[in-house]
Amino acid sequence: MTEMKEMKEMKENLFYKRTNAWDALSDAQIKQSKVFNEDYKKFLDISKTEREFVFNTLDVIGKLGFISLKDAYENKQTLQPGDKVYLESNSKTIALAIIGKQPLTEGINMVGSHIDSPRLDLKPLPLYEDNDLAMLKTHYYGGIKKFHWVATPLSIHGVIIKKDGEKVEINIGEEENDPVFVISDILPHLAKDQYAKNLREAIPAENLNVIIGSVPISDEDGADKVKLTVMKLLNEKYGIVEKDFINAEIEIVPSVKAKDVGIDRGLIGAYGHDDRICSYTGLKALLNAGLCSKTTLLYLSDKEEIGSVGNTGAQSDFLEYFVSLIYSLTTEKSNDLDIKDIMYKSVMLSGDVNAAFDPNHKGAFESNNSTYLGRGVGIMKYTGSGGKGGASDASSELMYKITKLMDDNEIIWQIGELGKVDQGGGGTIAKFAAKLGIEVVDVGIPLLNMHAPFELASKVDIYMCYLCFKVFFESL
Ligand code: MN
Ligand code: MN
């Protein structure tokens, strides 16, 4: 008996053990997690595009005394500890900071994530008619499995600039009585040719055409009578003409709302968890941490799903610009070397989702190094594919700092990597932060169904991720 007890103790002392957060958290914490997640679901439902996420973030921080850094710069304002600032670019990316008690030259505690999600974009000239149906041509954005997007209700979100320069917001398919849109798929009875193809090719990209209308305009002869109905309705509602689609960014997204999943309501199913889940938890963490010792910063980037490219992606110098602006307003003499130094002294948690171990697809995972739903916030030392290609590999020193911080604050966390080696792979914005000298590690929430129209996350993992970011901001 004694020996058995000793062995048990030895195991407890020597082995790494994953903890299920539902088991470990107190009833009060689980209650807090539920409240937190109710707000998250609401925010997600109104933030289905990067523009909407930026808009809603501005709405939240507008009430909390955040000031535009551009205005502060123009007014030659000096920033004091506790001052809250933001910089937004092209309505698609935004960074927020709360000036800390220590000088900026001590470094910044940053959380970086992305607010774009895989979707279908409309082509510049999307509208056409085919056999009495009006259709919209799309160009998919990010890594989607195309067969997920057919025969499922879709909504239309975006902006169009009209001839007179007015910007029109489009949002159809979200309200209870709104119509939705759909891409047709071939019935199984006639799917012989489709079944013969592999999954990747079963739905060709050029077949991702969305049905937008079917009623021909009356009292009209000639072709394109359904297309004319659609254009007439769009013109009546938004004042647009077909040419205006050229000056537009319109996204086709699932019209599904965020829902509790499971009879015990432990999971949230939604479109766009990746990566609004880390963006939202980061936002709440920054706001609730408030004035900290170091300056705290949240960077919500765009275009991550297509490689963080463009002037709103994490490869742009937006983050550096943001930090430079802050620095210039907190010091007498700002110089480039100081700014580099600030970057090298800063730490970023790159908040992004990870693949949760999937009981239906065990073969894609290596169970020792997977993250699991419900076992807390995931820490990924590196991402990448193959032989760590394209990875930002966090140092052991940083891993120690972050995991110790989580343990000291009783935050349930788990280590993992993205599936089996050579099974695939992926990246985050971590490597672009690392390029600036920032110490960075990937931290985020395990998902099932990643990049599908209905992604799944565990409520306790979401709450742990929020606490992880908050404790990180509050720490030295
Ligand atoms: Mn992501
Ligand atoms: Mn993604």
Rounded to whole angstroms, the Cα distance separating 294 from 476 reads 7
Specify the 3-state DSSP secondary structure of 465.
helix
Q: Are 120 and 150 in contact (CB under 8 A)?
A: no
Contacts 24+ apart (CB under 8 A), 335-340: 338/105, 340/437
- DSSP secondary structure string for all residues of 155-187: EEEEEEE-TTS-EEEEEES-STT---BEE----
- What integer is the mean pLDDT of 372-393? 95
Q: Give the ligand with the smallest distance to the CA of 275.
A: 1
Ligand 2 centroid from CA 208, angstroms = 20
Chain region(s) in the chain for CATH 3.40.630.10 = 10-117+271-475
Cα(183) to ligand 1 centroid in Å equals 25
pLDDT digits (tens, 9 = 90+) for 329-366: 998 888 899 999 999 999 999 999 999 999 999 999 99
**For the CA of 428, the nearest ligand:** 1
pLDDT for residue 284? 98
| Matching residue, tokens 């501005």 | 58
CA of 47 to the centre of ligand 1 (A): 16
Does residue 258 have a pLDDT over 90? yes
Task: Note whether 439 and 348 are within 8 A (CB).
Answer: yes
Cα 253 from Cα 244, distance rounded (Å): 21
CA gap 162, 147 in Å, rounded: 34
Q: Is 469:281 a contact under the CB 8 Å cutoff?
A: yes
Q: Tell me the CA–centroid distance for residue 299 and ligand 2, in Å.
A: 16
Lowest mean pLDDT segment, chosen from 199-203, 217-221, 439-443 = 217-221
Q: What is the DSSP string of 30-85?
A: HHHHHHHHHHHHHHHHT--SHHHHHHHHHHHHHTTT-EEHHHHHHTTPPP-TT-EE
- Whether the CB-CB separation of 158 and 251 falls below 8 Å is answered with yes
The whole-angstrom separation of Cα 181 and Cα 211 is: 6
Q: Is 319 helix (H, G, I), strand (E, B) or coil?
A: helix
Question: Mean pLDDT across the chain, nearest whole number?
Answer: 96
Angle between helices 396-408 and 459-474 (to 10 degrees): 110
Distance of CA 146 from the midpoint of ligand 2 (Å): 15
What value does the mean pLDDT take over residues 164-180?
97
Q: How far is the CA of 305 from the centre of ligand 2 (A)?
A: 5
pLDDT band at 218 (very low <50, low <70, confident <90, very high): confident
Checking if the pLDDT of 271 tops 70, the result is yes
Report residue 11 as tokens. 């195991």
Tally of helices (H runs) and strands (E runs) in the chain? 14, 23
**Cα of 14 to ligand 1 centre, how many Å?**
34
CATH numeric code, 119-254:
2.30.250.10
Task: Give residue 332's pLDDT.
Answer: 85
**Centre of ligand 1 from the C-alpha of residue 426, in Å:** 9
Which residues is 457 bridged to in the sheet? 268
Residue range 87-105, pLDDT digits in tens: 999 999 999 999 999 999 9
Average pLDDT over residues 9-17: 92
| Residue 94 three-state SS | strand
pLDDT of residue 1: 60
∠ Cα 129 133 134 (to 5°): 50
Query: pLDDT per residue over 447-463, tens digit each?
Result: 999 999 999 999 999 99
Lowest-pLDDT choice from 143-152, 255-264, 354-363, 379-388: 379-388
Using CA atoms, how far apart are residues 22 and 460, in angstroms rounded to an integer? 7
* Positions of CATH 2.30.250.10 in the chain: 119-254
Distance 77 CA to ligand 1 centre (A): 36
Starting from the CA of residue 352, give the closest ligand.
Answer: 1
Decide: helix, strand or coil at residue 277.
Answer: helix
3-class SS at 443? strand
CATH class belonging to 10-117+271-475? alpha beta
Q: Give the Å distance between the CA of 117 and the centre of ligand 2.
A: 6
> What letter would DSSP give residue 91?
T
Q: How far is CA 398 from CA 8, 73, 134, in A?
A: 31, 34, 55
144 CA → ligand 2 middle, Å: 9
Query: Could you give the angle at which helices 336-345 and 318-328 cross, rounded to 10 degrees?
Result: 110
Q: Is the pLDDT of residue 399 over 90?
A: yes
Question: Ligand 2 center to residue 451 CA distance, Å?
Answer: 6
Q: Considering every ligand atom, which ligand is closest to the CA of 380?
A: 1
pLDDT above 80 for 2? no
Please give the backbone phi and psi of residue 280, each rounded to the nearest 5 degrees, phi first: -70, -45
- Mean pLDDT of the region 35-58: 98
Give helix 273-289 / helix 27-45 axis angle, nearest 10°.
Answer: 120
Confidence tier at 3 by pLDDT (50, 70, 90): confident
CA of 294 to the centre of ligand 2 (A): 30
- Residue 128 Cα to ligand 2 middle (Å): 31
